[in-house]
Amino acid sequence: MDVAVSQARGREDAGMPNLRQREKQIQYGKNTPEYQLYLQQIPKCQRRRGDIRSPDPYANISKRAFDGCVKCWRRDLHLWQDRWCANQMLSNGGAVAVHSKSNGGVQCPENVAQASLGEKGLDQGCISNAASSGGADAANEDDLLCTVCWHDYQATILFPCGHAVLCAGCADSVMKEERPGRPSKICPMCRSHISEVLHVAE
């Protein structure tokens, strides 16, 4: 093995960060629609303590720990986008939430997202076409069913995660008191604790 390569690996293992790789990971996250929406809604100058921030590439932590920080940052951005879309739907007339299995979260109605995002084209990750025709309606029919009972349509939004995956009956049973051996108040999609269930009018 080349001496320079082994010395470089030794420095990385000793805690010297590989800045190019870390900056590349951060830049990749900043190019996502979630981050662009977050940046538009909460500019850097208006952020408070506790708001989502990108990981520090100069942090003296291992590669594995930094990768975990990037993963948490990206997950937090995704969850923030789901909550933001849910709040937009509720504040604009209580539109029906549409769940997409490919994205795993709440999708904003087209008119809400376009009105709030303007003409920048950042609505790729947040907009779903509620009015589709032909065979697409039959395919999307299953996406609107409750993920627990597969009988009724999704009619609730779970907070704080923002997932819209349950019918009213299943949401009520999830929020019931804990029974031995059965956890309650847990989102079936992300397994996070549910603090509140919002019933959405159809």
Which among 131, 191, 199 is positioned nearest to 170, based on CA atoms? 199
* pLDDT higher at 93 or 98: 93
Examine the pLDDT at 40 and tell me if it is beyond 50.
yes
Specify the pLDDT at position 62.
86
* pLDDT higher at 98 or 29: 29
Which among 200, 192, 184 is positioned nearest to 107, based on CA atoms? 200
Within 10 angstroms of residue 105's Cβ, the number of other Cβ atoms is 25
Tell me if 202 is assigned to some domain.
no
Are residues 86 and 157 in contact, defined by beta-carbon separation less than 8 angstroms? Answer: yes
Kindly report the CATH number assigned to the domain that includes residue 73. 1.10.8.1120
CA separation for the pair 25, 73 (Å, rounded): 11
Tell me if 197 is assigned to some domain.
no
| pLDDT per residue as tens digits for the range 18-33 | 888 899 999 998 998 8
CA separation for the pair 118, 172 (Å, rounded): 37
Tell me if 178 is assigned to some domain.
no
Tell me if 130 is assigned to some domain.
yes
Structural domains of the chain, count: 1
Three-class secondary structure of residue 73 per DSSP: helix
Residue in the block written with tokens 């609505």: 123
pLDDT-wise least confident of 20-24, 84-88, 179-183: 179-183
pLDDT-wise least confident of 39-48, 111-120, 140-149, 183-192: 111-120
Show the CA angle centred on residue 34, arms to residues 120 and 201, nearest 5°: 90
Tell me if 157 is assigned to some domain.
no
pLDDT band of residue 107 (cuts 50, 70, 90) is: very low
Mean pLDDT, rounded, for 159-163: 78
Amino acid at 131: A
Structural domain of 17: 3-144
pLDDT band of residue 151 (cuts 50, 70, 90) is: confident
